[in-house]
């Protein structure tokens, strides 16, 4: 990435990544809000087609149309009101028209995307690995928030993430391509096998198929050697949040947190990407034999 010139300088590259990541975070908020609704529209249209009914005429709805508006009053969001993080602070977290409170999710997603990209730039430098890490962070942020809110891990995000990981590792961005291919296959098959065993015993699915695809994407980026670490970390994170949820239920706290495995798998993947080698070096028993 030396062709980037001054942008690739160690003192500049992380700041460029931060700004770019904040802008991606703003778009991620659109994806998190609209993609589940787009999926629902598509399902309804398919159901109507199967039932032999004419589809209901609707206004275009995608990532661009209609323009972003306040859900409470319909005020159209102007350009200066859509600057990542800064606008939320300047508006004091309220709509400029009706003063309805703006969710903290918006600046949170933007900050996570920006800081994730900046840390990838610091950690890997101006390399293809930094690009791979930033893509992985951005996609997993979107997937984690969508899964937590709806219980879906959309194919529109999980499947491209698998292919992006494999394509970037054609050039050995994070791991050799052979490790990435085996990782993608092993990641999917492992969770599929666990679910198949659970279904055989209990007669029901124990997890969603989106989890299989997300774990395959983790394998496509990090390779097969990190899969045990990722599943261990995700289980530990899930155990912590699950325990907190049960504790809050016993105390009758109104904690509106749902237990979904996707966010924990995403978080574990990010941890393994940045700090996995150090963890594996400290705890070699987490490696596969050989």
Domain locations along the chain = 1-126, 131-290
**What local confidence, expressed as pLDDT, does residue 290 receive?**
38
**Position 179 pLDDT exceeds 80:** yes
Report how far residue 73's alpha carbon sits from residue 95's, in angstroms, rounded to the nearest whole number.
Answer: 9
Give the best-scoring range by mean pLDDT among 22-31, 45-54, 81-90, 203-212: 22-31
pTM above 0.95, yes or no: no
Compute the average pLDDT of residues 145-155. 92
Is residue 26 over pLDDT 50?
yes
Report for 182-196, 238-252, 258-272: range of highest mean pLDDT: 182-196
Alpha carbons within 13 angstroms on the beta-carbon side of residue 28 total: 30
How far apart are alpha carbons 46 and 56 in whole angstroms? 11
As given in the structure block, the two tokens for residue 22 are 């904040």
| Rounded percentage of the chain residues whose pLDDT exceeds 70 | 90
pLDDT for 73: 86
Indicate whether 79 pLDDT > 90: no
What is the structure's pLDDT at 143?
Answer: 96
Residue that the structure tokens 């695809």 belong to: 213
Look at residue 12 in the predicted model and tell me its pLDDT.
Answer: 85
How far apart, in Å, are the Cα atoms of 171 and each of 128, 166, 180, 193, 279?
Answer: 8, 9, 11, 31, 25
Q: What is the model's pLDDT at position 249?
A: 63
Inform me whether the pLDDT recorded for 282 exceeds 90. no
Which range is least confidently modeled, 29-33, 83-87, 258-262?
258-262
Does residue 198 have a pLDDT over 80? yes
Using pLDDT thresholds of 50, 70 and 90, give the confidence band for residue 22: very high
Q: What is the pLDDT of residue 32?
A: 96
**Residue 202: its pLDDT value, please?**
84
Q: Is the pLDDT reported for residue 133 higher than 80? A: yes
pLDDT recorded at residue 69: 87
Better-scored residue on pLDDT, 102 or 53: 102
- Separation CA 265–CA 136 (nearest Å): 12
Closest by CA to 85, choosing from 161, 175, 23, 1, is: 23
Q: How confident is the model at residue 193 (pLDDT cuts 50, 70, 90)?
A: very high
Higher pLDDT, residue 238 or 179: 179
Least confident of 21-30, 32-41, 133-142, 203-212: 203-212
Instruction: Tell me what pLDDT residue 138 has.
Output: 97
């Amino acid at each position: 990435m030396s062709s980037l010139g001054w942008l690739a300088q160690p003192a500049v590259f992380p700041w460029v990544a931060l700004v770019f990541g904040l802008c991606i975070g703003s778009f991620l908020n659109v994806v998190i809000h609209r993609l589940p609704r787009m999926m629902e529209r598509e399902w309804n249209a398919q159901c109507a087609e199967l039932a032999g009914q004419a589809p209901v005429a609707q206004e275009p709805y995608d990532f661009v149309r209609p323009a972003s508006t306040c859900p409470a009053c319909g005020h159209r969001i102007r350009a200066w009101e859509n600057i990542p993080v800064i606008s939320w602070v300047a508006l004091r977290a309220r709509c400029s028209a009706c003063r309805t409170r703006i969710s903290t999710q918006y600046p949170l997603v933007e900050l996570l995307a920006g800081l994730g990209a900046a840390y990838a730039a610091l950690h890997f430098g101006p390399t293809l690995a930094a690009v791979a890490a930033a893509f992985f962070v951005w996609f997993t942020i979107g997937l984690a928030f969508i899964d937590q809110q709806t219980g879906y891990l959309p194919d529109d995000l999980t499947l491209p993430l698998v292919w992006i990981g494999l394509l970037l590792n054609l050039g050995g961005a994070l791991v050799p391509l052979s490790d990435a291919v085996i990782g993608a296959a092993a990641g999917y098959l492992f969770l599929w096998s666990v679910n198949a065993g659970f279904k055989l015993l209990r007669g029901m699915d124990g997890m969603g198929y989106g989890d299989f695809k997300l774990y395959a994407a983790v394998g496509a980026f990090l390779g097969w050697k990190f899969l045990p670490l990722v599943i261990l970390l995700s289980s530990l994170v899930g155990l912590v949040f699950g325990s907190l949820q049960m504790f809050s239920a016993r105390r009758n706290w109104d904690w509106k947190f749902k237990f979904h495995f996707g966010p924990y798998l995403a978080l574990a993947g990010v941890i393994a990407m940045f700090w996995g080698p150090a963890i594996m070096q400290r705890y070699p028993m987490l490696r596969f034999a050989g």
